[in-house]
Amino acid sequence: MDLQAIKNRFGIIGNDPALNYALQVATQVANTDLSVLIMGESGVGKEVFSQIIHNLSARKHNPFIAVNCGAIPEGTIDSELFGHEKGSFTSASDQRKGYFESVNGGTIFLDEIGEMPLGTQARLLRMLETGEYLRVGSSKVMKADVRVIAATNKDLLQLTKEGKFREDLYYRLNTVPIRVPSLRERKEDIYLLFRKFVIDFSERYKATPIQLDDVARQMLTNYPWPGNVRELKNMAEQISVLSIDKIVNATALGKFLPKTEPGNTMPMLAPPPDAPMRSPNAGSDSGTSSTEREILYKFLFDLRKDSNDIKQLLFELLQQQGMGNTVPKNNQATANEGFSLPPAMNYNQQQPVQEQKPFVSYPSADSPVIINPGSDIHDHEEVEESLSLIDREREFITKALQKHKGKRKDAAHELGISERTLYRKIKEYDIDE
């Protein structure tokens, strides 16, 4: 059978020399039982080549099954391929045949073979070399006559160097390699495929097929097509549905093709609107330090907020007990010292005063606290500089507990904090209840 007849039979469009060579190799190896490794990018049509090999072989009347190794969970792939015995694992309620047993005498196509776990690779290697395998949970050796065709879009030789793929399995599968060229390597075939997909779509939905002008056709050819034939088919159907004019020019086509950078074969995606700006020369170290800086800023901001909440609480308690009636004039500068605030939060500007809850920060260590001379708490007017915020917090918690006879819920309510926070403070300060 000549190449054109094979193309017509399996719906292959194109006259690229690399494509013709791959078809020729597939035709020659079909009548043997040798293992075949089909290599190529995602979307180039590797499964079509496996079907060509099976249908031109002596096994064409026997079963053919395609298995995506990357789509089967690692814990169940052994059971899927080789079967399992009843009770071999938790959900094994019955005995089950695997794919190799089901397609005995036929062909199994293992797509994305590079995703197969190492343990399963060892089982597959034994199957390829001896035709023997074991069901999961069984010690009985079983035999199967199955031809294996594998495919991958990864560099398996590089994976063997990284220890992610068995070297012996690689050479066992790579008996006859077939490389399917990418779409950008067969530029002359791009418009032929596009026309095929457009006509198929129009016949299916009884619509008038679209056409491209010369400039649009050149733009279609120069696009890198990272998704290969699969992406081209989707694009042809999308344009057929959404295009208003049946003659599509370059401007209209440009709305459907993602923008690409010069020398880059992948579409250039715009960053999300809220993505942080980053210098083009910034490396991984810069990104790491930027993240650490953001975490530090957040920690400092939360720390300032917690500090202000505690100071506000203490001031309100002082007001309730008639202790504090004077606050230093520089209290705002002290509270915000060391922080750079946005204009909307600049406390140096005139702010409206809220009578019921004035925002007052606790004075710094070098500023004395003035209290009422008649207060029954202390007999002096100035608190010693050694008096810390922790001491005052411990004092007020103790008094609140004494006032409410050890009832934490009532004490926490009066202090303006949660009962959980109060419990933590009691443990932290070792306060006797």
Secondary structure in 3-state letters for 115-151: HCCHHHHHHHHHHHHHCEEECECCCCEEECCCEEEEE
Mean pLDDT of 334-356: 44
Q: What per-residue confidence (pLDDT) applies to 368?
A: 47
Q: What per-residue confidence (pLDDT) applies to 339?
A: 42
- For residues 145 and 131, give the distance between their C-alpha atoms in angstroms, rounded to a whole number: 6
Phi-psi region of 241 (alpha: psi -120 to 50; beta: other; left: phi over 0): alpha
Q: What per-residue confidence (pLDDT) applies to 211?
A: 94
- For residues 245 and 213, give the distance between their C-alpha atoms in angstroms, rounded to a whole number: 12
Q: What per-residue confidence (pLDDT) applies to 400?
A: 85
Least confident of 30-44, 94-108, 118-132, 413-427: 413-427
pTM for this structure?
0.59
What residue type is assigned to position 280 of the chain?
Answer: P
Find all residues with CB under 8 Å of 58, minimum gap 6, and list them: 31
Q: What are phi and psi of 157, to 5 degrees?
A: -65, -40
Give the architecture (CATH level 2) of 185-254.
Orthogonal Bundle (1.10)
- For residues 31 and 55, give the distance between their C-alpha atoms in angstroms, rounded to a whole number: 10
CA pseudo-torsion sign 199, 205, 209, 212: negative
Q: Does the pLDDT value for residue 285 go beyond 90?
A: no
Instruction: Tell me how crowded residue 415 is: count the other CB atoms within 10 A of its CB.
Output: 21
Instruction: Tell me how crowded residue 42 is: count the other CB atoms within 10 A of its CB.
Output: 14
Report domain extents, the chain: 3-181, 185-254, 304-429
Q: What per-residue confidence (pLDDT) applies to 387?
A: 52
Radius of gyration of the chain (CA): 38
- The class level of CATH for 3-181 reads alpha beta
CA pseudo-torsion sign 402, 403, 409, 413: negative
Q: Does the pLDDT value for residue 172 go beyond 90?
A: yes
- For residues 124 and 121, give the distance between their C-alpha atoms in angstroms, rounded to a whole number: 5
Class of residue 278 by CB neighbours under 10 A (exposed 0-12, middle 13-18, buried 19+): exposed
